[in-house]
Structure 1
Amino acid sequence: MRTMRLILCVLFALNMVERAECGIPIIGGLLSALANRKQLDPAVKAAMENVEKQFSVDSEKLVKIKDEMIHQMKSGLQKNGDSPMLMLPTHLRKLPSGGEKGSFLALDLGGTNFRVLKVNLQGQGKVDVTQSKHRIAENMMYAPGKELFSFFAEKVKQMVPEAVGKDSPRVPLGFTFSFPVQQTAINVGRCTGTNLCFKQSVAKASKLYEAPAFSSSPSVVTWFSAPYAGKHEEHIINTEWGGFDSTMKVLPLLAYDVMLDSKSVNPGEHLYEKMISGMFLGEVVRLVASELIAKVMSKLEANNNINSCKKILRDIGVEKASDQDVQVLKKICTLVSSRAARLTAAGLAAVAEYLDRCSDCLVAVDGTLFLKYPKLEERIESALKELLGPKMGVRFLPASDGSGVGAALAAAAATQGA
């Protein structure tokens, strides 16, 4: 079997304009009560030092997290393994080569949005995309699987009527389903456990669309050459790393994390995801400093001008922000995003070390948080060097629309060969 290039597709749920509607303030009026002081008040300084200490994740702790993730990956790959990292097989045994050509359909289900894409692969990395986007009503999220997937099928028919029907030509279709799916074949799968939404849905796309389908859950998807359920095979595995360490053996869970988790739709689950995902970072900040809204985090941290920061705060309704308020907010943003970066690095280091690719590992990344948040990539790389050494070879490559075009590429790889 020829050597294949390792590609880690890391699909962080990284959208800084979204905020989780959960959690409650715990600091109250700390920021507004201490106005008009150029130097931090001693009480505020002491409070911030305590917060900084809590959010600090040192190298020793990162190593423990990395090693535990390796252990849980190995356990998840065993036939009767008991691991919160489900290590779900995708039944896709070929990687895209970059030379794929042809027309493919792609479906992308993430959160409350559903997209239908018609993707024309032109070879040499060139692609042309036509798409439609639909918002899923709340009642539909908990509807029976048949009803939900009938909705999907109707949207496919509206977008590409020529591809639906008994007499229509079979069109390869890729499906990104943003929740854990236990696949029994490349085109058949069933939701596992308690998901963020769509708890009752059953994915049987091939029967609905009359097309071969590929299902995946945006998490960390990687090429494994390892025993799975007693067989040694090379194929793509969905690690479901959001569920890592559900018993909190090594993750540094704080009171803020507990509050956020208790108000989430899946308390007690996917705690690692809630500590690193852009969907939740703003809520963690809000719990530390009740005035902050998630969408200004990156603006505050990237801006070194106090007056400009005050204007940002005024734009979101905070009219009387003092210099101290701005300093505190910026510091909290830095602490929360830095912890997320270091915990993410521990997970990436675990995957690279497990695959013995610490010196040459290409990570394809999609997501606003990674691509737009100031210094996040730099912080991840710094933590990776702490864990893997200064000459570590983990590199990042932006992957545009990994959940849409990526699904089409998966369908191409499955039908055309790599």
Structure 2
Amino acid sequence: MVHLGPKPPQHRKGTFTDVPQELLTELKNLEELLTITPETLIKITDHFITELDKGLSKKGGNIPMIPGWVLDFPTGKETGDYLAIDLGGTNLRVVLVKLGGNRDFDTTQSKFALPKHMRTATSDELFDFIAECLKKFVDEEFPEGVSAPLPLGFTFSYPASQNSINEGVLQRWTKGFDIDGVEGKDVVPLLQASIEKVQVPIEVVALINDTTGTLVASMYTDSEAKMGLIFGTGCNGAYYDVVKDIPKLEGLIPDDIDAESPMAINCEYGAFDNEHLVLPRTKYDIQIDKESPRPGQQSFEKMINTSFPAKIEEDPFENLSDVADLFQNQLGIQTTSAERKIIRVLAEKIGERSSRLSICGIAAICKKRGYKSAHCAADGSVYNKYPGFKERAAQGLRDIFKWESKEDPIIIVPAEDGSGAGAAIIAALTQKRLKEGKSVGIKKN
């Protein structure tokens, strides 16, 4: 099948006869300020590669480049029943994934609302609640019981340090959680202990990040998938590197893990260019950064966050009445028709800038790993809902790689469910390694 890539986004055409000349002049200045040229994209991508390498070095860098301890590629032939859970800020999702073995799977899921007090409960209360939800789910899905413990992958989207796939020491709570007795502890045995209290046959075999899950789930169904991506309120990427090319793991790898073994890397590249060396920050970006909860951090993420401009671009009305309401209700500003037209064009330009900047991470990983063709599996609210994102991102990749062929050899495609299916597939890969007596983490002293 020939893939020609997405077509360029359609721009709203309208008359600017009622727009004062001084506004049009200022608009032109701002458009020039927000334009990301192909030369700038290439410069950013080259620096991105440098920062990815720094993150893998012993010294480290702005981008954490966290080894995910997924040491095998999914083949698509994995089979069996696996559980996954995803602990979010408002609910717990429990998923049963039946791997078909022909790059296919079926899922059944339930969501359990987190009681408000749970985010400030005790450690036992939280993990006992999760265990009770798991028991209810398993009893419903397997009324006659199971013949062997069900392997479980735990999607834990909170800062945690991992020395193996089946452990994760919580560094700090986020998303409104503030539960005593968990920070600084491994959450896997805490959950396993609660599961054993309710006597449900489940073994927690893997703790994962959702971006790594997106990578693995998409590779299971698509042999051309090379990376998992999240474009939402945050941005992130995951890909497979090679153990021997990760200097910070030198001396820590067990003897049974080959130097050529793949290793999933969770980049956490929202922190790219915190030193402000290449990103074309405007005075407005600097102001947003200063007024943010963490000034000087997550610079890249802040520049591609487009939640407010997206609302402007989504206005379907010719008179932009939704934009008028948005500015009136959220900012207390009354706008004229002429001002709204300018606002609309600027929102489109900000969206274009965001899309073009966001693909620098994709291009950097492709160049670093030598990928000449790839499916880059993406998820998140910006990718799924932002008007024109996919088309603008595709054009950005063309501007960097300057392909001569009519087809785009590197394309962004919709991802599979990372926090559900991805966690389950990683559980399958991990269980296989454990059964074979293979290591799933650093050397044990």
Q: Distance in 2 between matches of 1:135 and 1:267?
A: 33
Q: Which is greater in Rg?
A: 2
TM-score between both structures, scaled by the size of structure 2: 0.70
Q: Distance in 2 between matches of 1:45 and 1:274?
A: 27
In structure 2, which of residues 68, 87, 97 is the aligned counterpart of residue 109 of structure 1? 87
Q: Which residue of 1 aligns with 2:399?
A: 386
| Matched-pair contact (CA < 8 Å) for 2:168–2:207 | no
Q: Shift of the alpha carbon at 1:253?
A: 2.8
Q: Shift of the alpha carbon at 1:151?
A: 4.1
1:233-256 CA-partner distances (Å, limit 9, x unpaired): 421111111121222222223343
| Matched-pair contact (CA < 8 Å) for 1:362–1:396 | yes
Q: Distance in 1 between matches of 2:135 and 2:129?
A: 10
In structure 2, which of residues 228, 241, 248 is the aligned counterpart of residue 224 of structure 1? 241
In structure 2, which of residues 65, 74, 78 is the aligned counterpart of residue 96 of structure 1? 74
Q: Which residue of 2 aligns with 1:18?
A: none
| Matched-pair contact (CA < 8 Å) for 1:180–1:240 | no
Q: Which moved more, 1:400-409 or 1:188-197?
A: 188-197
Question: Quick one: which amino acid aligns to residue 204 of structure 1?
Answer: V
Question: Quick one: which amino acid aligns to residue 274 of structure 1?
Answer: K
Q: Which residue of 1 aligns with 2:266?
A: 238
| SS of structure 1 residue aligned to 2:86 | strand
| SS of structure 1 residue aligned to 2:150 | coil
Q: Which residue of 1 aligns with 2:318?
A: 306
Q: Which residue of 2 aligns with 1:337?
A: 351
Give matches, 1:1-150, under 5 Å.
38-78=17-57, 80-136=58-114, 140-141=118-119, 148-150=126-128
| Matched-pair contact (CA < 8 Å) for 1:111–1:178 | no
| SS of structure 2 residue aligned to 1:269 | coil
Q: Given the alignment of the two structures, is residue 374 of structure 1 paired with residue 402 of structure 2, yes or no?
A: no
Gaps of 5+ in 2: 1-14, 193-202, 212-235, 254-258, 434-445
Give the alignment's Cα RMSD to 1 decimal: 3.3
| SS of structure 2 residue aligned to 1:106 | strand
1:229-276 CA-partner distances (Å, limit 9, x unpaired): 226442111111112122222222334334444454444322212222
| SS of structure 2 residue aligned to 1:236 | strand
Q: Shift of the alpha carbon at 1:193?
A: 7.2
Q: Shift of the alpha carbon at 1:207?
A: 4.6
Question: Quick one: which amino acid aligns to residue 96 of structure 2?
Answer: K
| Matched-pair contact (CA < 8 Å) for 1:363–1:396 | yes
In structure 2, which of residues 197, 202, 206 is the aligned counterpart of residue 213 of structure 1? 206
| Matched-pair contact (CA < 8 Å) for 2:170–2:187 | no
| Matched-pair contact (CA < 8 Å) for 1:100–1:416 | no
Q: Given the alignment of the two structures, is residue 250 of structure 1 paired with residue 278 of structure 2, yes or no?
A: yes
Gaps of 5+ in 1: 1-35, 286-293
1:81-108 CA-partner distances (Å, limit 9, x unpaired): 2212111111111122223222111122
Q: Distance in 2 between matches of 1:81 and 1:116?
A: 38
Q: Shift of the alpha carbon at 1:76?
A: 1.4
| SS of structure 1 residue aligned to 2:403 | coil
Q: Distance in 2 between matches of 1:157 and 1:193?
A: 28
Q: Shift of the alpha carbon at 1:334?
A: 0.9
Compared CA separation, residues 401 and 325, structure 1 to 2 (3 A): farther
Q: Which residue of 1 aligns with 2:306?
A: 281
Question: Quick one: which amino acid aligns to residue 282 of structure 1?
Answer: S
Q: Which residue of 1 aligns with 2:431?
A: 415
| Matched-pair contact (CA < 8 Å) for 1:181–1:216 | no
| SS of structure 2 residue aligned to 1:187 | coil
Q: Which moved more, 1:323-332 or 1:401-410?
A: 323-332
Q: Shift of the alpha carbon at 1:134?
A: 4.1
| Matched-pair contact (CA < 8 Å) for 2:155–2:419 | yes
Q: Distance in 1 between matches of 2:63 and 2:403?
A: 29
| Matched-pair contact (CA < 8 Å) for 2:356–2:396 | yes
Compared CA separation, residues 243 and 105, structure 1 to 2 (3 A): same
In structure 2, which of residues 375, 382, 385 is the aligned counterpart of residue 362 of structure 1? 375
Question: Quick one: which amino acid aligns to residue 272 of structure 1?
Answer: F
